[in-house]
Structure 1
Amino acid sequence: MHPPEDTERAHLLEALQKQKNQLATLRITGTPTTVGQGLVSLAELHGLLEDHAASRQCYEEALGMFQEAGYKPGLAQAYFGMGVAKANFEDHRGALELIAKAAMLFNETKDREGEAMCRACVGESLRALGQPEAAEEKYQEALILYRQTRNTGRTARLLLDIGDIRMEKAEYEPARKRFLEAIPLLEQGDDSEALALGHLLLGESEGLLGNHEGARSHLLRAVELYQELHDHVHEARARWDLGLSCYYTQDLPAAREQLEAVLPLYEEQGRMDEVAKVRNILAHFAARGA
């Protein structure tokens, strides 16, 4: 998750203070369940501000409140939040243990959305621990649940994750199919970052399968979206890939255009090895009169 922009951060800090004030009143007048829910809301705001230590403390206190009340939906939320906080501190084994408890409680309370979220997060931690096959299995379980709840945004994100695992295993055709399935779902939503990633990954998979003409339109769309998002790291990746696809389709002027555009992006990021590589290619083009 990227750190919030200044304006967004100011709004979050304002919401955090309001929630603290409400919680102070709830501690006097509320039940253990309502106090716990107030703590969960406070924990979520701390999480959005990337203060994961404060978030974890709030979830731990909320857990105690929900245990006192015997409130299972709250217990599920608290265990999940504590697990996510551990994952943010790279304690993925600890995260797995807590999120597994949350998944069981979400299952017991028939909350398929919550259970799906848990299974997806378990997949992320397994992937971080270097277990891609086990991660894909959990992603598949989450995918089934998200399809049942018709959550197209989460479904699409999982399809990208599953496809990305297949890309790492050099299984480009199965990966391509996942990306093709994800993009129409992403077009329905407003997650520009996921849509850009979908086009980038689909373009890369097409290129790796040798379909460079087919790759070009997706990589060009990725470039446009990353420009709008001011994400220069991914824009550079998309432009480099697009330049290669143009080269392989013998459209040398288009290839040169992309390489010239990627050069300042690499320079801005201090990626001098890539800068040297691009300069060499451009010099080669110039020698050929391209």
Structure 2
Amino acid sequence: MHPSEDTERAHLLEALQKQKNTLASLRITGSPTQVGQELVSLAEVHGLLDDHAASRQCYEEALALFKEAGYKPGQAQACFGLGVVKANFEDHRGAVELIAQAAMLFNETKDREGEAMCRACVGESLRALGQPEAAEEKYQEALILYRQTRNTERTARLLLDIGDIRMEKAEYEPARKRFLEAIPMLEKGEDPEALALGHLLLGESEGLLGQHEAARTHLLRAVELYQELHDHVYEARARWDLSLSCFYTQDLAAAREQLEAVLPLYEEQGRADEVAKVRNILAHFAARGS
């Protein structure tokens, strides 16, 4: 485990103990709603620690208390949490059922952000179930709500998801439009991973449309961002794509530079087939004196 991950886990365990202490006193003095809210907070910390079984227990108890109190916002939170737990256990059908229930409760309590989050998560589970059209429909519903609440970060993320579905269907121009719309929002936000992914996907869509100069600009930006994030898997993907765009624009020196940079990344990841492919291309370049 990385030292920073160790520190983060220690903070989470400390937070978990504090939540348990608070919950213990609230069970004596608090109302069902207060105890339920503390259980939801405890469930979220368990989730961050990947203890999904403990998380589920807390959400189930919270849901029973919120129902007893007739508190719909809490019921919505607990249903959503239980749905996320099911998704973490790869039970996506169960997740869809619970999160759809949460969406209705958020709708009844006029919580558009909560409803949007639910619709987006239903979309994720539908996509995991191999239903991209149904997933895109849910993403579009969430997108409308996020636009209404002016949540640009979530709007941008959904645009990337919708564009990615279009890429899978080989609808590169509609995908490109979604990515183009998302990137200015991401540039103003504070999510470097989403920004890197946006530039990567836009670069790939430009390349697939034969617009290799435009692709190079975005793929180079993706490479820089993934380097900063120390994400070698996605950095390798971006460098490979960039090498292709450089090749198609007849900039063979730049193509070779990217291939030489991607080679140790593939080696580090143990991707023997890709290593062999890159070595062959570099040998071909050397033979041609490129």
**TM-score range with shorter-chain normalisation?**
over 0.9
Question: Please, which moves more after superposition, 7-16 or 175-184?
Answer: 7-16
Partner of 2:245: 245
Structure-to-structure mapping, 1:214-225, within 5 angstroms: 214-225=214-225
Partner of 1:180: 180
Partner of 2:150: 150
Q: Deviations over 1:179-223 (max 9, x none)?
A: 000000001111000000000000000000000000001001100
Partner of 1:165: 165
Partner of 1:228: 228
> Aligned letter for 1:184?
P
The alpha-carbon deviation at position 31 of structure 1 amounts to: 0.2
Normalised TM-score (structure 2) = 0.98
Equivalents in 2 of 1:59, 1:205: separation in Å? 41
**What are structure 2's unaligned runs of at least 5 residues?**
none
For residue 5 of structure 1, give the secondary structure of its aligned residue in structure 2: helix
Partner of 2:42: 42
Equivalents in 2 of 1:22, 1:242: separation in Å? 53
The alpha-carbon deviation at position 97 of structure 1 amounts to: 0.8
Q: Deviations over 1:62-83 (max 9, x none)?
A: 0011011010000000000000
Partner of 1:28: 28
Structure-to-structure mapping, 1:64-83, within 5 angstroms: 64-83=64-83
RMSD (CA atoms): 0.7
Q: Deviations over 1:96-150 (max 9, x none)?
A: 1111110000000000000000000000010000000000000000000001111
The alpha-carbon deviation at position 228 of structure 1 amounts to: 0.7
Partner of 1:17: 17
After TM superposition, the runs of 4+ consecutive aligned structure 1 residues lying more than 4 A away are none
Partner of 1:272: 272
The alpha-carbon deviation at position 8 of structure 1 amounts to: 1.4
The alpha-carbon deviation at position 5 of structure 1 amounts to: 1.6
The alpha-carbon deviation at position 167 of structure 1 amounts to: 0.1
**What are structure 1's unaligned runs of at least 5 residues?**
none
Equivalents in 2 of 1:100, 1:171: separation in Å? 29
Equivalents in 2 of 1:53, 1:245: separation in Å? 47
> Aligned letter for 1:242?
L
Partner of 1:213: 213
Equivalents in 2 of 1:149, 1:26: separation in Å? 34
